[in-house]
């Protein structure tokens, strides 16, 4: 019972974003009916050229939340984008989202995150096996699932930074990242997400700070690229 309670609680906290999205897709009839795919060849070719990922379509998920998701393992990739992301972001900003999601796939992040979650189950089961009392077992199961979730989110965030960096190096116009980060920050503030709250930082992969860092890194990339092009032109001269 304590092992089951730990596994369920831990896996639920760690994957709750995906679970909510799945439940919404399953029960919201409006979502099902209006969902259609992105089949724009220019977008799919761009993703293919820049990341090597071949997609026949991008699934569109009709919700008023902004997110993108990369589902599936090689060789079956599924990229999912929400309609609200399409509504809010321009061409350059969307390119970053596509490249970021493709990065998750190319860098095997889904598999790594699944392995990471399994990895956390092992020490927890060992610790729980040493607790013989039934109610203490349940108490420790909850305590461990909460503590390990916090550690998990901090590690999972590294994948977000890695995918963002992957996209940053390949994006046509890094300016798009800066404007996207600005929009996202504003949107978060409007929704009243306590972006600076410790609780939010502990139990979420995507935090407000990521956007701050995104804009900073994009600025550096613009600097780097302009430096590069001026050296090249100086070389030609
Ligand atoms: Zn991501």
Q: What is the pLDDT of residues 142-169, one digit of tens each?
A: 999 999 999 999 999 999 999 999 999 9
Cβ–Cβ under 8 Å, residues 104 and 52: no
Q: Give the pLDDT confidence score for residue 50 in this predicted structure.
A: 96
Residues of the chain with pLDDT under 50: 235
Q: Give the pLDDT confidence score for residue 169 in this predicted structure.
A: 96
pTM over 0.85, yes/no: yes
CA distance 49 to 172: 12
Q: How far is the CA of 70 from the centre of ligand 1 (A)?
A: 8
Q: Give the pLDDT confidence score for residue 185 in this predicted structure.
A: 87
Q: Give the pLDDT confidence score for residue 231 in this predicted structure.
A: 53
Q: How far is the CA of 27 from the centre of ligand 1 (A)?
A: 25
Q: Give the pLDDT confidence score for residue 201 in this predicted structure.
A: 85
Beta partners for 38? 58
Q: How far is the CA of 180 from the centre of ligand 1 (A)?
A: 14
Q: Give the pLDDT confidence score for residue 117 in this predicted structure.
A: 92
Q: How far is the CA of 95 from the centre of ligand 1 (A)?
A: 13
Q: How far is the CA of 237 from the centre of ligand 1 (A)?
A: 42
Q: Give the pLDDT confidence score for residue 32 in this predicted structure.
A: 54
Q: How far is the CA of 132 from the centre of ligand 1 (A)?
A: 40
Q: How far is the CA of 235 from the centre of ligand 1 (A)?
A: 38
Cβ–Cβ under 8 Å, residues 123 and 199: no
Q: How far is the CA of 214 from the centre of ligand 1 (A)?
A: 12
Q: How far is the CA of 209 from the centre of ligand 1 (A)?
A: 14
Beta partners for 80? 59, 69
Q: Give the pLDDT confidence score for residue 17 in this predicted structure.
A: 85
CA distance 166 to 50: 10
E-only strand ranges, the chain: 37-38, 58-61, 68-71, 78-82
Full DSSP string of 142-184: HHHHHHHHHHHHHHHHHHHHHHHHHHHHH-S-THHHHHHHHHH
> How many of the other CB atoms lie within 10 Å of CB of 163?
21
Q: How far is the CA of 160 from the centre of ligand 1 (A)?
A: 5
């Amino acid at each position: 019972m304590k092992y089951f309670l730990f596994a369920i609680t831990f896996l639920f906290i760690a994957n709750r974003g995906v679970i909510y999205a799945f439940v919404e897709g399953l029960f919201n009839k409006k979502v099902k009916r209006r969902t259609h795919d992105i089949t724009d060849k220019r977008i799919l070719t761009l993703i293919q050229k820049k990341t090597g990922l071949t997609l026949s379509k991008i699934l569109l998920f009709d919700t008023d939340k902004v997110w993108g998701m990369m589902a599936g393992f090689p060789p079956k990739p599924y990229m999912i984008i929400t309609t609200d992301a399409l509504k809010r972001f321009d061409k350059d900003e969307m390119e970053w989202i596509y490249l970021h999601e493709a990065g998750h796939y190319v860098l095997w992040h889904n598999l790594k995150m699944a392995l990471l979650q399994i990895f956390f189950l092992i020490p927890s089961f060992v610790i729980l096996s040493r607790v013989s009392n039934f109610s203490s077992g349940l108490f420790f199961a909850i305590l461990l699932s909460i503590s390990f979730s916090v550690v998990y989110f901090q590690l999972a965030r590294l994948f977000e930074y890695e995918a963002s960096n992957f996209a940053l190096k390949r994006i046509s116009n890094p300016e798009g990242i800066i404007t996207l980060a600005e929009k996202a920050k504003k949107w978060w503030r409007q929704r009243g997400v306590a972006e600076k709250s410790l609780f939010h930082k502990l139990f979420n992969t995507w935090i407000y700070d990521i956007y701050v860092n995104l804009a900073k890194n994009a600025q550096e990339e613009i600097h780097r690229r302009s430096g590069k092009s001026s050296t090249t032109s100086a070389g030609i001269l």
